[in-house]
Amino acid sequence: MIVLTELSQNVQDAVAATRAKVAKLHEELPANNLVVWTAGNVSERVPGADLFVIKPSGVRYDELSPDVMVVCTLDGEKIVDGTPDHLSPSSDTAAHAYVYRHMPEVGGVVHTHSTYATAFAAIHEPIPGVLTMMGDEFGGDVPVGPFAIIGDDSIGRGIVETLKDSRSPAVLMANHGPFTIGKDATAAVKAAVMVEEVARTVAIARGLGELKPIDQKHIDSLYDRYQNVYGQKG
């Protein structure tokens, strides 16, 4: 059993910084219309420790603050003195923990029930890569993962299995909704915002006519430019 105050000062400082960051990033979910009421969650791996921080279960977004963020081990267990005793971690904690254990390159995970992306999940249909934005961010289609019940690591297994050989940082878990990953929680939140944006645009476009695919060579070029050239480096 891990006690926060028994860890090194560097780790304690990293936990505090991660709790503040994760609490702040949760503001982006309702601000971008990705969640309702208490649904959805953001988590981030704690640098230098086998720990991550996640939203508490069933707590409204306007009640979130760094001190209520839950600190967990990579097995998904809440650590002893990281959070007030009455607060339990998100019901999706096991899924997040599984991703962190099996995808060491992932530093952040986000789950939402955003309307258009979840609509694609409801019909078990990938979001087709028909937009340059999708080439940039997702490297093609946004895939659909298997149906899984909340409560154990089944959802996590589906996320990892679907994304392990994919360039996409997003997966639409069947009948459930999108999960996104990133090098940190900021990148995962960005992917959550982007997957809803492209899902909405593609859904509207389908109502206007036939979708026109982008050649794979152009998708590859877009992805390479966006990932390696776009923006400020260093």
Question: 98 an active-site residue?
Answer: no
Q: Establish if 74 belongs to a structural domain.
A: yes
Q: Establish if 18 belongs to a structural domain.
A: yes
The half-sphere exposure of 45 on its side-chain side, counting CA atoms within 13 A, is 26
Taken in order 184, 187, 191, 193, the sign of the CA dihedral is positive
What pLDDT is stored for residue 2 in this prediction?
83
What pLDDT is stored for residue 233 in this prediction?
72
The domain that contains 82 carries what CATH number? 3.40.225.10
Residue tagged active-site, from 136, 184, 220, 226: 136
Q: Establish if 126 belongs to a structural domain.
A: yes
226 exposed, middle or buried (CB, 10 Å; 0-12, 13-18, 19+)? Answer: middle
The residue range of the domain holding 198 is 4-228
What pLDDT is stored for residue 86 in this prediction?
85
Contacting residues for 190 by C-beta, under 8 A, at least 6 apart: 182
Question: 136 an active-site residue?
Answer: yes
Longest dimension (CA), the chain: 61
| Radius of gyration (C-alpha) of the chain in whole angstroms | 18
Q: Establish if 174 belongs to a structural domain.
A: yes
What pLDDT is stored for residue 234 in this prediction?
64
Q: Establish if 175 belongs to a structural domain.
A: yes
Task: Report the percent of the chain where pLDDT is more than 70.
Answer: 98
pLDDT in tens, 130-143: 999 999 999 999 99
Residue tagged active-site, from 13, 81, 152, 230: 230
Q: Establish if 234 belongs to a structural domain.
A: no
Average pLDDT value for the chain? 96
What pLDDT is stored for residue 80 in this prediction?
65
Q: Establish if 64 belongs to a structural domain.
A: yes
Q: Establish if 89 belongs to a structural domain.
A: yes
Report the alpha-carbon distance of residue 120 to residue 55 in Å, rounded.
25
Q: C-alpha angle with apex 45: 80 to 72, nearest 5 degrees? A: 20
pTM for the full model? 0.97
Query: Which residues in the chain show pLDDT less than 50?
Result: none
pLDDT in tens, 194-230: 999 999 999 999 999 999 999 999 999 999 999 999 8
Q: How many domains does the chain have?
A: 1
